[in-house]
Amino acid sequence: MMSVGGTTTMTSPVDAGPQSVPEAGPDWDEVRAQFALDPAEAHMTCCFLAPLPLPVREAVERYRLAFERNVLWAEKDLYGIHNGLQGDVVRALAEYIGGRPEDIALTANTSAGLGVVYSGLRLRPDQEIVLSVHDHLVHEEAARFATQRHGASLRSIRLYDDPAHATSHEIAERVAATIGPRTRVVGVPWVHSCTGVKASLPLLAEAVAVANEGRAEEDRCLLIIDGVHGLGVEDVDVARTGVDFFASGTHKWMLGPRGTGFVWGAEDAWAQLGPVFPSLILDRDYWQAFKAGAELPPTRAKWMSPGGFQAFENRFAVADAVAFHQSLGRNRVAARIAELNTSLRLQLRSLPHLELVSPLEESAASQLVCFRHHDLPAREVLRLLAEHKVYGTITPEMHDPAARLCAGLMNGPEHIDAAINTLADL
Which pLDDT tens digits describe the chain residue by residue (426 residues)? 233 443 333 333 343 333 344 456 899 999 999 999 998 999 999 889 999 999 999 999 999 999 999 988 888 777 776 678 999 999 999 999 999 999 999 999 999 999 999 999 999 999 999 999 998 889 999 999 999 999 999 999 999 999 999 999 999 999 999 999 999 999 999 999 999 999 999 999 999 999 999 999 999 999 999 999 999 999 999 999 999 999 999 999 999 999 999 999 999 999 999 988 777 777 778 878 788 888 888 888 888 888 888 899 999 999 999 999 999 999 999 999 999 999 999 999 999 999 999 999 989 999 999 999 999 999 999 999 999 999 999 998 766 899 999 999 999 999 999 999 999 998
Choices 3.40.50.2000, 3.30.420.40, 3.40.50.150, 3.90.1150.10: CATH for 331-424: 3.90.1150.10
Q: What separation in angstroms does the CA of 383 have from each of 42, 164, 394, 423?
A: 14, 24, 11, 11
Alpha-carbon distance 316 to 313, whole Å?
5
Tally the residues of the chain. Answer: 426
- All CATH 3.90.1150.10 domain ranges in the chain, comma separated: 331-424
Do the strands 245-249 and 222-226 form a parallel or antiparallel pair, or are they unpaired? parallel
- CATH 3.40.640.10 occupies which residues in the chain? 76-323
**Single pTM value for the model:** 0.92
Q: What is the pLDDT of residue 294?
A: 84
In whole angstroms, what is the distance from residue 404 CA to residue 86 CA?
34
Nearby residues of 344 by Cβ (< 8 Å), 6 or more positions away: 369, 405, 407, 416, 419, 420
φ, ψ dihedrals at 223, nearest 5° = -105, 115
User: Beta strands 42-43 and 390-391: pairing type?
Assistant: parallel
CA 317 to chain centre: 17
Using DSSP, state whether 273 is helix, strand or coil.
Answer: strand
Identify the DSSP state of 141: H
pLDDT, position 275 = 86
Query: Three-state SS for 248?
Result: strand
Q: Output the pLDDT for position 52.
A: 97
Q: What are the backbone angles phi and psi of residue 388, rounded to the nearest 5°?
A: -105, 20
Residue 372: which of 423, 307, 337 has the closest Cα?
423
Q: What is the DSSP string of 220-245?
A: PPEEEEE-TTTTTTS---GGGS--SE
409 neighbors 31 (Cβ within 8 angstroms)? yes
CATH architecture for segment(s) 76-323? 3-Layer(aba) Sandwich (3.40)
pLDDT at 79: 73
Which residues pair with residue 38 across a beta bridge?
none
- The dihedral through the CA atoms of 370, 375, 381, 384 has a sign that is negative
Contact yes or no for 307/78 (Cβ under 8 A): no
Q: What are phi and psi of 310, to 5 degrees?
A: -115, 180
Q: What is the SS3 string spanning 17-63?
A: CCEEECCCCCCHHHHHCCECCCCCCEECECCCCCCCEHHHHHHHHHH
Which contiguous run of DSSP H or E holds residue 332? helix 330-349
Q: What is the pLDDT of residue 304?
A: 86
Euclidean distance between CA atoms 252 and 411, whole angstroms? 14
